[in-house]
Amino acid sequence: MNTIDKELESRRGEIHFGLEVLYNLNMRITGWDIPELDEKEASKKLFAMIEEELSKLKKEVNNQ
């Protein structure tokens, strides 16, 4: 394991927490806007959106 791997691995929990906050906040806001929210459907769509945006970010970063 090299230095970068060690550094990133040491922050894995923080990264997970940040993603969890992103997910929970967006689910909460969606629930406020849609009182009869189907949480399972919303969760599936939110994860798809997060994955799509992460993919876009990867392309942007890799093209720099």
pLDDT, residue 64, reads 82
Sorted by where each begins, the domain ranges of the chain are 3-62
pTM listed for this prediction: 0.85
Q: How many CA atoms lie within 13 A of 43 on its CB side?
A: 5
**Residue 45 main-chain phi, psi, to 5 deg:** -70, -35
Q: Tens of pLDDT along 6-60? A: 999 999 999 999 999 999 999 999 999 999 999 999 999 999 999 999 999 999 9
Compare 1 and 25 and report the one with higher pLDDT. Answer: 25
What is the token pair recorded at 8? 């990133």
pLDDT, residue 51, reads 98
Alpha-carbon distance 2 to 44, whole Å?
35
pLDDT, residue 22, reads 98
